[in-house]
Amino acid sequence: MTRIALIAGKGRLPRILARRLRDQGQTPLLAQMEGFESPVAGDGDVIRFRLERLVPFLDSLHDQGVARAVFAGAVHRPRLDPALIDPATMQLLPRIMAAMQQGDDGTLREVIALMGEWGIEVLGAQDICPDLVATAGVLGQAAPKGPDKQDAARGGDILRAMGAADVGQGCVVARGQCLALEALPGTDDMLAHLADLRARRDDLPRGGVFCKAPKPGQDRRIDLPALGPETVAAIARAGLNGIAFQAGGVLLIDRAEMIAEADAQGVFLWATDLA
């Protein structure tokens, strides 16, 4: 019988997917990169791997009957230890390094290609849990107003430019001005910095919209942007009016909690076309 591997990082998404797979009668093989403990690490069969030993890891998945895999949860590029690279992985190193030079998207596309060469189909989290993504519309009680929609349109333009440079998947726009761009530190740091900045300065435009979308041309099986209740609380602390996100292209972690938090804070959640 074929198995599905859940390649799990940090955050709540791995547990959500593991639970859904078990509800579907499947027993996923949990795989986690060393240094990135997953919340499902102690729940079922687990294997750990290092990028320096990528080929033995893929061989192990194949030997255990894995025909499909899904990536879930946050990981960052680890420091590679050349002394740990095995001979088979060493032969792939030029190919891997060339992909890494193309940025995150290039790296992820190469990972998908390699897994395909081992007979493993990569699925997206939304393929396991279709309800993680939202169709177009407003979630919750608050709705975007005219200026918010204009800021969202401006944010979409900025996200397309950012995506072309493989920079990030989020930005903040207020009254047509870009107040923040999401880069390597991530959404939480960006919003915390903006909240601090607004507390210290009174010359910044009020309100604004946090815009979130996949990069143009991104393979949506890996690294889809995600939002959760903590994001809603963070945008409220930053004084923003709401979140505009790509319909069908952003994972909503704990949607009911997100909506409840948005209603409590009086901010909007708007699934729209930012592509």
- Model pLDDT for residues 210-240, shown as the tens digit of each residue: 999 998 878 888 888 999 999 999 999 999 9
DSSP 130-173: GGGS--SEEESS----HHHHHHHHHHHHHHHHHHHTT--SEEEE
Query: Are residues 9 and 55 both part of a single domain?
Result: yes
Q: Over the stretch 191-216, which tens digit does the pLDDT of each residue have?
A: 999 999 999 998 899 999 999 999 88
The residue from 108, 128, 148 where one domain ends is 128
Query: Are residues 61 and 81 both part of a single domain?
Result: yes
What CATH number does residue 223 fall under?
Answer: 3.40.140.80
What CATH number does residue 17 fall under?
Answer: 3.40.50.20
Task: Give the domain range for residue 214.
Answer: 133-272
Query: Are residues 150 and 98 both part of a single domain?
Result: no
Least confident of 1-10, 129-138, 175-184, 201-210: 1-10
Greater confidence, 112 or 263? 263
Query: Are residues 84 and 159 both part of a single domain?
Result: no
Greater confidence, 244 or 216? 244
Query: Are residues 103 and 171 both part of a single domain?
Result: no
Q: What is the percentage of the chain residues whose pLDDT exceeds 90?
A: 64
Greater confidence, 208 or 25? 208
Pairing of the two strands 3-8 and 268-272: unpaired
Measured distance CA(207)–CA(248) in Å, rounded: 26
Show the tokens assigned to 203: 């010359």
The residue from 82, 98, 128 where one domain ends is 128
Query: Are residues 162 and 113 both part of a single domain?
Result: no
The residue from 74, 93, 128 where one domain ends is 128
Burial 123-149, CB ≥16 within 10 A → b, else e:
bbbbebbeebbbeeebbbebebeeebe
Query: Are residues 113 and 149 both part of a single domain?
Result: no
Q: What is the pLDDT of residue 45?
A: 81
Least confident of 100-109, 147-156, 196-205: 100-109
Confidence at 267, pLDDT banded by 50, 70, 90: very high
DSSP 100-132: HTTHHHHHHHHHHHHHHHTT-EEE-HHHH-GGG
Query: Are residues 118 and 247 both part of a single domain?
Result: no
Greater confidence, 9 or 42? 9
User: In the chain, how many domains are there?
Assistant: 2
